[in-house]
Amino acid sequence: MDDDAVLLERDGAVARLVLNRPAKHNALRFDDLDHLVELLHEAEDDDDVKVIVLKGRGKSFCAGHDYDDAVRSYGLDPGAGGTPPRRPSQRSRLRRDRRLGEAYMAFHYAAKPVIAQVQGVCTGAGLYLVELVDLAVAADTARFSHAEQRFGLAGNTWHLNTQILLYGAKKARELLLLGEEFDGPAAVELGLANRSVPEETLEAAVEEWARRIAQHPRDALVTGRALHAMALDSLGGTQQFLRGTVGHTLGTNLRFEDDEYNFLRERGRRGTRDAFADRDRHYGSDPENPLA
């Protein structure tokens, strides 16, 4: 892991968690996500910090998990000479996925308000974080999608409770099953984002909200956040991540039949970028934007 792949910046009462792999559209490796959670806890423990901004450096907020890292972490890379990998045990997969679930749950239950500042690509793990934090401000040109579902997950995700509450049951199913892209104004209409603004004013809009929230007393902010977490728990907040852990292990360990699109097989044949383009052609969207 690069030490600077995720950064914590402090500015008085405002802390900023910065995803810092702009050349990769801030795609997160597993270790990056673990470190992001460590820095979230560091900001939570800093009594000077009242509000936390989650943002990505460069053109995009976050293009999800770094797929090459995920394949390595799950032991799915072919061996020497292209020999098929030995299928990893369910227990090893569950251990890895439990850490993922705990990372998402950390943002779901953050001790202080978190605002997502979203521009460019926001999909997969990046979109999960936006769905789970308190507030989101998006650029009008932001590109949201659940295109990660096109790996074969088909609606199997970490936090269905949250998604159903955000979008409604049928809209949540549509977003997950189709994986279609939508922009900032559509994100506001869906309830995912609170505001959509021109990209050149995005940072100023987020900073203005952060400063306004920071006017509240420290105790009031953390008490309000704790009560919000208790309300989420009454709606099954914690249980959704436990279900998501098992669901992710099962959903990323599928058997593909001969007539079904197998991203991992195509990646081995053609490389990651071409496989992404093939995947999106298969599901009927734009292969010129193959990020997920």
Per residue in 157-176, pLDDT tens?
Answer: 889 999 999 999 999 999 99
d(Cα 176, Cα 147) in Å, to the nearest integer? 8
Which residue matches tokens 């936390």?
Answer: 52
CATH 3.90.226.10 is held by the domain 6-282: yes
Q: Where are the domains of the chain?
A: 6-282
Per residue in 221-270, pLDDT tens?
Answer: 999 999 999 998 888 888 888 888 888 888 777 777 888 877 767 776 77
Q: Are 19 and 61 in contact (CB under 8 A)?
A: yes
User: Tell me, what's the pLDDT at 36?
Assistant: 98
Torsion of CA 19, 22, 28, 29, to 10 degrees: -120
Which ranges constitute the DSSP H helices of 137-217?
Answer: 160-167, 169-178, 184-190, 202-213
Count of CB atoms within 10 A of residue 224's CB? Answer: 14
Which ranges constitute the DSSP H helices of 109-201?
Answer: 125-132, 160-167, 169-178, 184-190
Q: Is the pTM of this model over 0.75?
A: yes
